[in-house]
């Protein structure tokens, strides 16, 4: 039987049934989910609406969860169960092939801001190293019929990551309610993927770190004097200060590419306290002739000042020779653990550095 949602209002000792009403249009449900995808019961960030696929079709909503997994949300509208299920499976076959760069491109076109920033606003953490490790397909409807239930239940029995959710719209005097029901319970939905989720991210080798070096800083300064730096707010300083001595750092200039690899030789310090080697002696970095700018408005604040990390370079190239190819890891954080095998393999080969640190 199709899933049914009923609600009653308790007036004294007498329950009064509330009669479901029809949404003005199913497009209104689409707008509800765009504005607040948590209506589905889990924290999601919508990264695309009416996403045009390579086949000319439009995917209703594409979202991402805190683990970096993608969710295809397809509204039933007036289509038959066979049509809507076939459509969501077709979309899923395409979405499953999206690379990290593809996901970020779609997201930034829709969000109008850097993907990493939008992700952290919703989930409070930076995006995971790997995106699109798993996929969830969801048929969204204002009503669920018996045929849809049979088809979705059948596919789930074969491990297809599909579910159906329907929303009941209820009016009670001057109040409006939206009630949600899943075809399959949440614990059932998560049980089939729990084994996969433990291996979602590659194991970190304990050595390699990603560093973003940009803004008004000069790569020529950093390359010549042996340092990396970040500042201007807690978001940027807390990660650069986490770099441990002995870490191998791969430096990327945003929108440009990777320009060097080196070994951290000491802890992060304030710019005014930083010392760099010049002619065999350690001298204050602030006294050197610098091309870049390393000062901020509130330099007295612990988190807002520029923090400098000393680095012994292994290989570097001028900014004009920066290395980039589609699929390489990039992140808005000033520093983070680099565990993406694709990126590590390509960088080690390009800079002629052994991936194990030897």
Domain boundaries, the chain: 19-197, 208-350
Q: The domain 19-197 is classified under which CATH number: 3.90.1150.10, 3.30.479.30, 3.40.1350.10, 3.20.20.150?
A: 3.40.1350.10
**Per-residue DSSP letters for 77-89?**
TT--HHHHHHHHH
Whole-number pLDDT of residue 185: 62
Whole-number pLDDT of residue 81: 64
Which of these, 261, 192, 271, 258, lies nearest to 229 by C-alpha position? 271
Overall pTM > 0.75: no
pLDDT (tens, 9 = 90+) of the chain, 358 residues, equals: 455 666 777 877 778 777 666 665 667 888 888 888 888 888 999 999 999 999 888 999 999 999 999 999 998 766 666 788 888 999 999 999 998 889 999 999 999 888 888 888 888 877 887 889 899 999 888 766 778 788 888 898 888 999 888 777 777 777 777 777 777 765 444 434 433 433 345 678 999 999 999 999 999 999 999 999 999 888 899 999 999 999 999 999 999 999 999 999 999 999 999 999 999 999 999 999 999 999 887 665 678 899 999 999 999 999 999 999 877 888 888 999 998 877 899 999 999 997 555 5
Query: Is the CB of residue 278 less than 8 Å from the CB of residue 288?
Result: yes
Whole-number pLDDT of residue 80: 64
* CA dist list (Å): 59 to 53, 86, 94, 180, 294: 7, 13, 10, 22, 45
Q: The domain 208-350 is classified under which CATH number: 3.30.379, 1.10.10, 1.10.3470, 3.10.590?
A: 3.10.590
Whole-number pLDDT of residue 106: 94
Query: Is the CB of residue 62 less than 8 Å from the CB of residue 71?
Result: yes
**Per-residue DSSP letters for 205-237?**
-SSEEEEE--TT--HHHHHHHTEEEE-SSHHHH
């Amino acid at each position: 039987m199709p899933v049914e949602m009923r609600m009653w209002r308790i007036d004294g000792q007498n329950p009064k049934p509330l009669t479901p009403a029809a949404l003005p249009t199913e497009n209104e449900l689409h707008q509800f989910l765009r504005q607040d995808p948590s209506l589905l019961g889990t924290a999601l960030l919508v990264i695309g609406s009416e996403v045009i696929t390579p086949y000319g079709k439009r995917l209703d909503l594409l979202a991402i969860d805190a683990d970096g997994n993608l969710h295809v949300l397809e509204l039933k509208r007036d289509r038959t169960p066979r049509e809507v299920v076939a459509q969501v499976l077709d979309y899923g076959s395409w979405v499953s092939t999206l690379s990290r760069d593809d996901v970020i491109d779609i997201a930034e076109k829709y969000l109008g801001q850097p993907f990493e920033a939008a992700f952290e606003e919703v989930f409070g953490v930076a995006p995971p190293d790997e995106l699109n490790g798993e996929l969830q397909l969801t048929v969204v409807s204002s009503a669920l019929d018996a045929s849809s239930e049979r088809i979705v239940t059948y596919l789930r029995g074969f491990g297809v990551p599909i579910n159906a959710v329907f929303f009941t719209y209820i009016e009670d005097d001057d109040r409006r309610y939206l009630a949600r029901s899943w075809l399959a319970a949440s614990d059932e939905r998560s049980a089939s993927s729990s084994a996969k989720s433990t291996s979602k991210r590659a194991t970190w080798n304990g050595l390699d770190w990603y560093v973003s070096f940009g803004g008004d800083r000069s790569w020529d300064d950093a390359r010549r004097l042996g340092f990396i730096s970040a500042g201007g707010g807690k978001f940027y300083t807390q990660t650069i200060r986490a770099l441990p001595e002995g870490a191998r750092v791969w430096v990327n200039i945003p929108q440009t590419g990777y320009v060097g690899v080196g070994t951290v030789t000491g802890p992060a310090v304030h710019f005014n306290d930083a010392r760099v080697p010049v002619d065999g002696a350690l001298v204050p970095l602030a006294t050197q002739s610098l091309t870049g700018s390393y000062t901020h408005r509130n330099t007295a604040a612990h988190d807002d000042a520029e923090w400098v990390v000393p680095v012994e370079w292994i290989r570097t190239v001028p900014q004009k020779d920066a290395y980039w190819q589609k699929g390489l890891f990039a992140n808005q954080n000033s520093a983070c653990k680099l565990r993406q095998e694709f990126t590590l393999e390509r960088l080690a080969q390009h800079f002629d550095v052994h991936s194990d640190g030897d």
